[in-house]
Structure 1
Amino acid sequence: MDIQLKRGLLDVCVLAAIKQEDSYGYKIIKDMKPYVELSESTLYPILRRLEAAQLLSVHSAEHNGRLRKYYHITEQGQKRLEDFKAEWNEIVSIYNFVTREDENNA
């Protein structure tokens, strides 16, 4: 898969993973696992990029005597998810166009 396309999809997946409630790294990976395989070395650069783009915010809270970073989707992050849903219709249309020969030859 094209690296830029995959990067954009993973960004949206991370936003979707935290849209219902604030979450932390390990839980984000665990929640995404049934759908997308994601390692810590992939997740944390995504989280930093999303924070820099103001699509999520970060706060720390103590958990079992240690500080844990929690990620919260911002209003801009919510808008990015909505934009993605609208864009997805165009992606499906392109996919249908590309695979139309396959259906005709089946």
Structure 2
Amino acid sequence: MSAPVDVLPTEVLRLLADPLRARIVGLLAKESLCTCHLVEETGASQTNVSNHLKLLREADLVVSEPAGRYTYYRLRPQVLRALATTLTELADVADAGAQERRPCP
């Protein structure tokens, strides 16, 4: 087990809960993109996209790769896999404890 199942990675969940960041993550799952592509795909301003990318980089969800005068962003799938593993483990615990009931004092 990677982490206690009663401790969810709240920072990653909070980041992914934002609709624009979730859209960016979804787009980066398909291919590496630069900021201009993400602005075009999302309709958000360049400043807004850049701010969201900064948060995703700080959380280690994406990495940046310079390419000439552009910077491309790539999703780090291992972070999502770790989150998926934690959620699967939590679901497994819930399945196992579905009939458990703690007695009241």
TM-score, normalised to structure 2, is: 0.57
CA distance in 2, matches of 1:8, 1:38: 13
Tell me if the contact between 1:24 and 1:68 (Cα under 8 Å) persists in the aligned partners.
yes
Identity %: 18
| Greater helix fraction, Structure 1 or Structure 2 | 1
Where does the alignment leave 5 or more consecutive residues of structure 2 unmatched? Answer: 1-13, 86-105
Q: Does the C-alpha gap of structure 1 residues 78 and 25 become closer, same or farther in structure 2, counting only changes over 3 Å?
A: same
Bigger CA radius of gyration: 2
1:19 aligns with 2:29: yes
TM-score, normalised to structure 1, is: 0.56
Q: How many corresponding residue pairs?
A: 73
Where does the alignment leave 5 or more consecutive residues of structure 1 unmatched? Answer: 84-106
CA distance in 1, matches of 2:32, 2:82: 17
How much does 1:79 deviate?
3.9
How much does 1:73 deviate?
0.2
Q: Which runs of 4+ in 1 moved over 3 A?
A: 76-83
CA distance in 2, matches of 1:14, 1:77: 15
CA distance in 1, matches of 2:60, 2:19: 17
Tell me if the contact between 1:15 and 1:73 (Cα under 8 Å) persists in the aligned partners.
yes
Tell me if the contact between 1:58 and 1:71 (Cα under 8 Å) persists in the aligned partners.
yes
CA distance in 2, matches of 1:12, 1:81: 14
CA RMSD of the aligned region, Å?
Answer: 3.0
